[in-house]
Structure 1
């Protein structure tokens, strides 16, 4: 049975991660739009390679399947609204992606290298060096990715594109990006100034909105939990 407090905290952390990386989903600048015409040396990619696309704050990952095809996990709210593959297979717009993250609905889909990278530079098998893990054989990596194609639950913290890729590549789903974010949140929580700041904000909300349960309870419990966690 899930702990309601832990589940609520998990959802809060995911929303914070989404907000802190909102620029990832924003429209590109004119320079970025121009960069979408980048030419990619597809012939240098091997089936089973991990393709890594650095964004403003996050990095997107995929598995190269060969023939200009990349398998990657992509949030998409349209998957919850229609089963029409003609519509869902189109390139996911920013709005569909953001709503998909919030709705926790995604799919492991196949796109061209160009649509996957969206004009950004591509790093190949960079995770092998950064994680210092032994990769599986490329063909096994590609086959793992192909077996997972289709709908999947999505979570910024527990089941994102990096979890998908590391499972295929190394056999274990991990996400250093999510781990780093959680560590930063821990640092903030352990900072006693957070307790003082939350208490001040709580008192300010009571002063502005009046003495009510929806202002008083958060003003009491949030500083208390931060103090206990610290």
Structure 2
């Protein structure tokens, strides 16, 4: 284990040993930054290895591509004191994976079948076409359902866009550090990643624009239908 590693230990749950993974970031100085549950509520804190591990074996999460160690620790330090723990959206693995590779993901939730399903951003367009061929009351009900769906999807897309933008900035920072260390190969690879995420951000931005257009269409159609019922 070295500075910047994403590490984890197997923790017990409800009396059963080794049920789930508890993740953190190794700072390389005998401390780990992780979501600690020692206080009144879970808080991102820097603790000793002993406090993190509970004297259990510590494992390293392996990635083919990840941020440079200094960047990983810098990202972890930027969230010290945070108290926004959420099992489904912001648990210890979400945090550590975000620090290491910039993705707010929890593989455990996916494996347990608990990952939040990604909705089809534009499924509501089909609902619009189907509703327009039916009776107004049913159409309004479908429109309301579609608006709820689109709101959830918009929030998801916005989170993905913010994450892609964060990746752009972090890979730019990684390239700068690599150049200062004379590692042109790492700098080149980092800039390639930056370009990749910049394109991804632009793609998501276009999806958001289409989604907003769909929302406006829904609003216009709903207003028109309500007027017919008056």
For the criterion TM > 0.5, the same-fold answer is no
Higher-RCO chain (CA-CA 8 Å, sequence separation at least 6): 1
Over alpha carbons, which structure has the higher Rg?
A: 2
Q: Normalising by structure 2, what TM-score?
A: 0.44
